[in-house]
Amino acid sequence: MERKSFLSIGLILLFVNASSVKAQISTEGYVPCQEIPYLMKQFEADEAAIYRFYSPSENAPRYRMAKGLGSPDRQARLRVLNEQYLNQLKNVDFDRLPQECKVDYLLFTRDLKEKQNQLEKLTQQMEQLKGLFPFADSIFTLERSRRRGNSLDAARVASTFSHIAKAIPLLMKNLSDMHLEPEQIRAAGEEADLLRRTAASIFQFYDGFDPAFSWWVPEAYHRADSMLVRYAGVFQKKQQPNKMGIYTRTPIGREELMRLLQHEFINYSPDELLAIAHREMAWCQEEMLKASAALGFGNDWKAALEKVKASAVPVGQQPAVIRKLYDESVDFLKKNDLITIPELAEETWGMIMMSPERQKSNAFFTGGWEISITYPTNTMDFGLARMRMLGNNPYFSRATVHHELIAGHNLEFFMNARYRTYRNFDTPFWMEGWALYWEMLLWDKGFARTPEERIGMLFWRKYRCARIIFQLNFHLGKWSAEQCADFLVDEVGHERANVESELNWPLSRDSQAFPLYQVSYYIGGLQFYALQREVLKSHKYTLKEFHDTVLKLNAMPVEMIRAILLEKPLTRESKTVWKFYQH
């Protein structure tokens, strides 16, 4: 269908559709307008085509979208694409768009600008690394010819690879005296990997198919490939690990934190979020002391916590615990008629056991389409195995099975794949916030019946507050990774080994984890909690309708869900304005 037709349909829907927002969202297959979704889907396909074409082939199917660090060609082409779509959006009559499409317009524009920002950072990064990879352009030039199958001068290709193999030892020697920041080390490792994959793309294309190439190139190529592997290894040794074995990243600082918070539609400063986290953590501690007293431990909440941890089941029995907790949580949701649960979603959730390797950065289970269970394996030493058991006891897990499955991540994934599928505004403040909101709501509804169950749920809630505190303090440059670990052990009650695994992902040099990811759980949960109260007060939705409607809107910043449900005024320049926290 031509674009003109899509625009015409959008205008017809705009004038014909006079029903309420709630009725529209509840309608199966309803699309609020065609123009913005069409642009978004077109962009997604165009971007994927560029990623595929301008990435090393490595004999992989070309329908796969290659991610990671890209060549200068790819960076340049993506910049042009983003600018083309930003210009198209400027020509859209914003005021005539339905409310949902105004939100899509704002978020799509925001994301295109952020893509441009990230591309600029990548370009600067590669420019800074030029001295470490003086042969990069020669490899990219060969790949440029390979993409169209042009004939290559085999002797010249062999000379290029031979030069690379001879140049790297001197570069390695110079590198030993050079100071690199953690992010430069990671980027250099990525560029070495990119160049190696690009060289492989060239070699695999011609070797065996071009007789001259097969005669001249293999020996020089394999030497260059071997040296690139060694070169990448040298970068990894440029930074010493801390006492926990973590090669920590560089804190991003207050200015970047503020920028990211505005990008995520969080209208608070880091200091304000820290104040919220401390206030919420104090509430958790008050409730923890009540539960501790009910168990006969008085104010010794750590002793009560240890009693709860001792409920850990023997190895081999954890899957049965997860099934039991799942049944209890889903039965509770149904009994209280809190949300619609599709039969297929109930039928198709699954379980996997988390590998020992993955447990190095995941001390607790994770979820989505399936729940990934963290528990000791036969390859762990006794001390680590014991800590894994204590940290994943049934009472702690009571707070997180519904977080990972239904009505949390599993149901999110299920609904995202079926409603408003053109939306691609994934944000942890929605994904993790929604799952955390259910921990809050089920607490309010009495899901925790005994002191042990309350301590289990409070441990996780307190930990989510602590995540805000340690991540912001780390990125503000106030706390080291060791201080973050001490805080989690002393103030939350974590096992030391579990803490070290948990910190490895957000604080590691080699991780590209979103710097606000740990913040997003509790803050996103508070946003949904506040929005629920505001929506119910408007009398436009019941509690169940609110939950069903949110999932059908798909992923986006919570403030934009608020703009849709409560029909808040929006302009082309709208920014975050919502102060959601009431205390």
pLDDT in tens, 54-99: 988 765 445 444 556 789 999 999 999 999 999 999 999 999 999 9
Assigned token pair, 463: 């930990």
Q: Give the 3-state DSSP-derived string for 241-269, with helices as H, strands as E and coil as C.
A: CCCCCCCECCCCHHHHHHHHHHHCCCCCC
Is a pLDDT exceeding 80 seen at residue 374?
no
pLDDT at 292: 97
**pLDDT, tens only, 445-470:** 999 999 999 999 999 999 999 999 99
Question: Quick check: is 572 in a domain?
Answer: no
Which of these three, 67, 98, 128, is where a domain ends? Answer: 128
Looking at residue 372, what is its pLDDT? 79
Domain extent at residue 124: 3-128
Residue 26 in any domain: the answer is: yes
Average pLDDT value for residue range 341-365: 82
User: Cβ distance 397 to 460 under 8 Å?
Assistant: no
Q: Is the CA virtual torsion 287, 293, 297, 300 positive or negative?
A: positive
Alpha-carbon Rg for the chain in angstroms: 27
| Domain presence at residue 535 | yes
Half-sphere exposure of 394 (CA within 13 A, CB side): 21
pLDDT of residue 9: 38
Residues 15, 71, single domain; the answer is: yes
Domain final residue pick, 100, 128, 156? 128
**How large a percentage of the chain has pLDDT more than 90?**
69
The yes-or-no verdict on residue 24 having pLDDT over 70 is no
Give phi and psi for 430, each to the nearest 5: -85, -55
Give how many domains the chain has, as a whole number. Answer: 3
Question: What per-residue confidence (pLDDT) applies to 421?
Answer: 93
Residues 315 and 350 grouped into a single domain: yes
Rounded Cα–Cα distance for residues 93 and 379 (Å) = 62
140 and 120 inside one domain: no
Domain stops at, among 68, 101, 128: 128
Same domain, 93 and 174: no
The DSSP H or E segment spanning 350 is strand 350-353
Q: Please report, for residues 239, 353, 360, 371, 557, the alpha-carbon distance to residue 357 in angstroms, rounded to integers and kept in the order given.
A: 22, 12, 6, 17, 33
Asked whether residue 413 falls in the same domain as residue 550, the answer is: yes
Q: Tell me which H or E stretch contains 280.
A: helix 270-294
Residue 325's SS3 state is helix
Asked, for residue 578, whether it belongs to a domain, the answer is no
The mean per-residue pLDDT over the stretch 136-159 comes to 96
| Residues 368 and 319 reside in one and the same domain | yes
467 shares a domain with 412: yes
Same-domain pairing of 143 and 41? no
The predicted-structure confidence for 181-226, as pLDDT tens digits, reads as follows 998 998 999 999 999 999 999 999 999 999 999 999 999 999 999 9
> Do residues 259 and 208 both lie within one domain?
no
Q: Is residue 245 part of a domain?
A: no
For 267-323, write each residue's pLDDT tens digit: 999 999 999 999 999 999 999 999 999 999 999 999 999 999 999 888 888 888 889
Tell me which of 233 and 522 has the higher pLDDT: 522
Are residues 351 and 413 part of one domain? Answer: yes
What pLDDT, on the 0 to 100 scale, is given for residue 12? 37
pLDDT at position 17 over 90: no
The whole-number pLDDT of residue 21 equals 63
Check the CA dihedral 410-411-415-416 and report its sign. Answer: negative
CA atoms within 13 A on the CB side of 73: 18
Q: Per-residue confidence at 19, pLDDT binned at 50, 70, 90?
A: very low
In a domain, 544, yes or no: yes
Higher pLDDT, 514 or 30: 514
Whether residues 345 and 365 share a domain: the answer is yes
Q: How much is the mean pLDDT over the chain?
A: 90
Extended beta strands in 283-349, E state: none
Q: Each residue of 312-331: b (16+ CB within 10 Å) or e?
A: bbeeeebeebbeebbeebbe
In the chain, the amino acid numbered 83 is E
Specify if 227 maps to a domain: yes
Q: Is 580 inside any structural domain? A: no
Question: Cis bond leading into 407, ω under 30°?
Answer: yes
Half-sphere exposure of 583 (CA within 13 A, CB side): 14
Same domain for 120 and 150? no
